[in-house]
Structure 1
Amino acid sequence: MTLQLTPEQQNILDGNEGPARKLAMEILIKVGEGFGAQRLIPIQSVHLVLHAYKSAFDAGVEAAERIADMGGKFTVPTTIDPYGMDAEDWEGAKTPKEYAVMQKRLEAAVNRLGVIPVWTCTPYYGFNMPKFGENVAWSESSAVAFANTVLGARTNRQAAIVDICCGILGLAPEVGLHLAEERRGQVLIDLRMDRALQAWEYPALGFRLGQLLGNRIGVVVGMLGTPDTEELKALCAAAAASGSVALLHIVGITPEARTLEEAFGGNHPEETITFTKKDLLETREKMNTHKGKNVDIVALGCPHYTINEIITVQKLLNGRKISDNVALWIYANSAAIALAEKMGIRKDLESLGVTIRAQTCMIISPIAEWGFKVMMTDSGKCVHYGPMECGTEMVFGSVEECVESAVCGYVWTKEV
């Protein structure tokens, strides 16, 4: 299918607005036609995934530099995923110097393009908050799922470089989740619980849903209580990692699912999946690839911890020091860290042995130099990527269990 261009878009393709915009248009046309788009539509913002040398490699750095050299500039607000190393203390984090050099080259290139350097996977916390129904072009898997599910914004899961092109042009191909008919539910998730979910159960549910749904749109019915944004963040992140979930509907909770009928939009469920407490417990067990009691690092903040979550850790520690045998690292964005500093929380946590890792995360920064073998986390996303990206066995637990394990020096679990 040939994509129809407006006169203004044709002018860009003809090269009359410079080589960077011409290249961006050529790429978006190929992507759009490949997915059957009929046109390009305006977007309100972009969130980039070309952010870390660990995933960009030399080719990604050089591509960003080339586009910047061509004069490329973002024309819509464009934020970016976490930094590829600790933004405050990369040397203290044992980042190899040659890696740091390439990360800084990537940073310089996207800065030249005009990125808003938030360096976070949670741009919707005050940096880049699309409204209901707005079209955006985001790339980070958990942020895409959150934007579609919780905010009701419209975005596909863009790829690196394609997202840069969207930011330069302020356009995206009108396909997939930009279309109302493509946002209708496909699979019914019958959640049979007689209570609201506990905090750890949201990432466990998301982890299993990702495995079961793949890239299909699930409609969850039966979720009791009112989950907060942190719990929905954890759910979306796990589902987007273990599967390719970009949109979930939760009846009575998310904006496009006020009713079951609205969520399905006239579709009939192609499958019904029943989910009980037993299923959650079985999922939790399978998330633990390490069955022993030893643990080397407790890693929190995937997606980035909010100030609320950092406060929770402080309250759970209650003045107790971290074991000499275990590291406890918290990953957060600059805003949450700044608040923790102003509130005296960071100083308190660090005095107890906690390390704050700024604007990065365990998945996209090099941590092999530390020699960690077993990682514990409260994140379903981290459980999925940890073995591949960190080379560790994984232990999953609630934030309470994670903190207690860091204090005890061994895996501590609570009866559930």
Structure 2
Amino acid sequence: MTLQLTPQQQNILDGNEGPARKLAMEILVKVGEGFGAQRLIPIQSVHLVLHAYKSAFDAGVEAAERIADMGGRFSVPTTIDPYGMDAEDWEGAKTPKEYAVMQKRLEAAVNRLGVIPVWTCTPYYGFNMPKFGENVAWSESSAVAFANTVLGARTNRQSAIVDICCGILGLAPEVGLHLAEERRGQVLVELHLNRPLQAWEYPALGFRLGQLLGNRIGVVAGMLGTPDTEELKALCAAAAASGSVALLHIAGITPEARTLEEAFGGNHPEETITFTKKDLLETREKMNTHKGKNVDIVALGCPHYTINEIITVQKLLNGRKISDNVALWIYANSAAIALAEKMGIREELEGLGITIRAETCMIISPIAEWGFKVMMTDSGKCVHYGPMECGTEMVFGSAEECVESAVCGHVWTKEA
């Protein structure tokens, strides 16, 4: 099926609005036709994933520079994923100089395009928060899942360069999750716990759901209590990493899933998955690829830690120092770090041995120079990517268990 363009869109394709917009339209037309879209629709915002040299490589940097040289400029608010290295102290983070040079080139290129330089995987915390029903074009997997699931916005999982094109034109192909009929639930997920989930159970549930669902849309029933945004962030991030989940309907929480009937939209569940406490404990055990007690680094902030989570670490530490045998790094965006500084929390945490890493994360910044072998985290997303991206064995635990492990110098679990 041929994509139907408006006269204005055809004018762009003909090159009458400059080479950058012409290139962007050529790419979106090819993508749209490849997925069977009938038209391009206006979008309210974009979130870029061409953000880190570790994943962009030379080709990505050069592509961003070329589009900027052609006069490309974003026409809708466009935010960007975490920086490819510690934005405050890349040298202290042992980032190779040649890597830093390329990261700065990438930064300069996207700044010329007009990006809003938030450098975070959680743009929905004040920088870029779409409303229910709005169409956006986001790339970051965890942010996409959060936007669709928690906010009720509509976006597919865009890819690098395509997201830049969407930002330049303010358009996206109308396919997939932009369409109401493609957002209907497919798999029923029943929680049999008779209580609200504990904090660590959200990423564990997401981790297992990603494996079971793939890219299918699950409908979660039986989630009791009122999960906060940090818990939903952890759930969505893990599901998007271990699988390709871009939308979960959580009955009573997702805006378009006030009831199970509304979530399925007339569909009959093609499968029913049940979760008990035993299932979550077994998932947690499988998330631990390291079975020993030793740990080299405790890494928190994937997705980025909020000020609420930083405060939680402060309370858990309660003035105790980190063991000399373990590094504890917290990754956060500049806004959360600024708040921690104003509140005096950053100075306190750093005095206790914690390192704050600005605008980056353990997954997309180079940390091989540190020689870490075992990493502990409270993130299901980090558990999934850690072995490949960090070269470490992984230990998963709650924030409390992570902090206690950093204090005592070995893996600590609440059951112990």
**Where on the TM-score scale, by shorter chain, does this alignment land: which range?**
over 0.9
Secondary structure of the corresponding residue to residue 120 of structure 1: coil
Using the alignment, how far apart are the partners of 1:306 and 1:255 within structure 2?
A: 23
Structure 2 spans left out of the alignment, 5+ residues: none
Report the CA distance between 1:253 and its aligned residue: 1.5
Report the CA distance between 1:3 and its aligned residue: 0.2
Using the alignment, how far apart are the partners of 1:232 and 1:255 within structure 2?
A: 14
Using the alignment, how far apart are the partners of 1:52 and 1:372 within structure 2?
A: 21
Using the alignment, how far apart are the partners of 2:5 and 2:180 within structure 1?
A: 22
1:352-374 Cα offsets, whole Å, 9 max, x none, are 00000000000000000000000
Secondary structure of the corresponding residue to residue 386 of structure 2: helix
Instruction: Say which is worse superposed, 257-266 or 247-256, in terms of deviation.
Output: 247-256
Report the CA distance between 1:21 and its aligned residue: 0.1
Structure 1's consecutive aligned runs of 4 or more residues displaced over 2 angstroms after TM superposition are: none
Using the alignment, how far apart are the partners of 1:255 and 1:2 within structure 2?
A: 33
1:53-95 Cα offsets, whole Å, 9 max, x none, are 0000000000000000000000000000000000000000000
Paired position in structure 1 for 2:45: 45
Report the CA distance between 1:194 and its aligned residue: 1.4
Report the CA distance between 1:121 and its aligned residue: 0.1
Using the alignment, how far apart are the partners of 2:98 and 2:34 within structure 1?
A: 37
Using the alignment, how far apart are the partners of 2:406 and 2:256 within structure 1?
A: 40
Using the alignment, how far apart are the partners of 2:274 and 2:147 within structure 1?
A: 26
Using the alignment, how far apart are the partners of 2:189 and 2:315 within structure 1?
A: 35
**Pairing 1:56–2:56 present:** yes
Report the CA distance between 1:255 and its aligned residue: 0.8
Secondary structure of the corresponding residue to residue 324 of structure 1: coil
- Normalising by structure 2, we get a TM-score of 1.00
Secondary structure of the corresponding residue to residue 153 of structure 1: coil
Using the alignment, how far apart are the partners of 1:381 and 1:197 within structure 2?
A: 18
Using the alignment, how far apart are the partners of 1:14 and 1:6 within structure 2?
A: 12
Structure 1 spans left out of the alignment, 5+ residues: none
Using the alignment, how far apart are the partners of 1:363 and 1:391 within structure 2?
A: 10
Report the CA distance between 1:394 and its aligned residue: 0.0
Secondary structure of the corresponding residue to residue 210 of structure 1: helix
Report the CA distance between 1:96 and its aligned residue: 0.1
1:276-326 Cα offsets, whole Å, 9 max, x none, are 100000000000000000000000000000000000000000000000000
Paired position in structure 2 for 1:11: 11
Using the alignment, how far apart are the partners of 1:346 and 1:275 within structure 2?
A: 39
Report the CA distance between 1:254 and its aligned residue: 1.5
Report the CA distance between 1:252 and its aligned residue: 1.2
1:12-65 Cα offsets, whole Å, 9 max, x none, are 000000000000000000000000000000000000000000000000000000
Secondary structure of the corresponding residue to residue 272 of structure 2: strand
Instruction: Say which is worse superposed, 289-298 or 251-260, in terms of deviation.
Output: 251-260
Secondary structure of the corresponding residue to residue 220 of structure 1: strand
Using the alignment, how far apart are the partners of 1:15 and 1:249 within structure 2?
A: 42
1:145-181 Cα offsets, whole Å, 9 max, x none, are 0000000000000000000000000000000000000
Report the CA distance between 1:137 and its aligned residue: 0.1
Report the CA distance between 1:129 and its aligned residue: 0.4
Using the alignment, how far apart are the partners of 1:13 and 1:398 within structure 2?
A: 51
Report the CA distance between 1:187 and its aligned residue: 0.1
RMSD of Structure 2 on Structure 1 (CA): 0.5
Report the CA distance between 1:235 and its aligned residue: 0.0
Using the alignment, how far apart are the partners of 1:327 and 1:255 within structure 2?
A: 40
Using the alignment, how far apart are the partners of 2:164 and 2:124 within structure 1?
A: 19
Report the CA distance between 1:230 and its aligned residue: 0.2
1:84-140 Cα offsets, whole Å, 9 max, x none, are 000000000000000000000000000000000000000000000000000000000
Secondary structure of the corresponding residue to residue 172 of structure 2: strand
Using the alignment, how far apart are the partners of 1:253 and 1:63 within structure 2?
A: 40
Secondary structure of the corresponding residue to residue 100 of structure 1: helix
Aligned-residue sequence identity (percent) comes to 95
Report the CA distance between 1:198 and its aligned residue: 0.3
Secondary structure of the corresponding residue to residue 50 of structure 1: coil
Report the CA distance between 1:408 and its aligned residue: 0.3
Using the alignment, how far apart are the partners of 2:352 and 2:254 within structure 1?
A: 39
Secondary structure of the corresponding residue to residue 268 of structure 2: coil
Using the alignment, how far apart are the partners of 1:345 and 1:308 within structure 2?
A: 11
Using the alignment, how far apart are the partners of 1:120 and 1:223 within structure 2?
A: 28
Instruction: Say which is worse superposed, 277-286 or 248-257, in terms of deviation.
Output: 248-257
Paired position in structure 1 for 2:341: 341
Report the CA distance between 1:233 and its aligned residue: 0.1
Secondary structure of the corresponding residue to residue 159 of structure 1: coil
Using the alignment, how far apart are the partners of 1:409 and 1:102 within structure 2?
A: 36
Using the alignment, how far apart are the partners of 1:264 and 1:66 within structure 2?
A: 44
Report the CA distance between 1:415 and its aligned residue: 1.7
Using the alignment, how far apart are the partners of 1:363 and 1:121 within structure 2?
A: 12
1:232-277 Cα offsets, whole Å, 9 max, x none, are 0000000000000000001112111100000000000000001110
**Pairing 1:109–2:138 present:** no
Using the alignment, how far apart are the partners of 1:252 and 1:80 within structure 2?
A: 30
Using the alignment, how far apart are the partners of 1:412 and 1:399 within structure 2?
A: 11
Using the alignment, how far apart are the partners of 1:65 and 1:223 within structure 2?
A: 46
- Normalising by structure 1, we get a TM-score of 1.00
Secondary structure of the corresponding residue to residue 300 of structure 1: strand
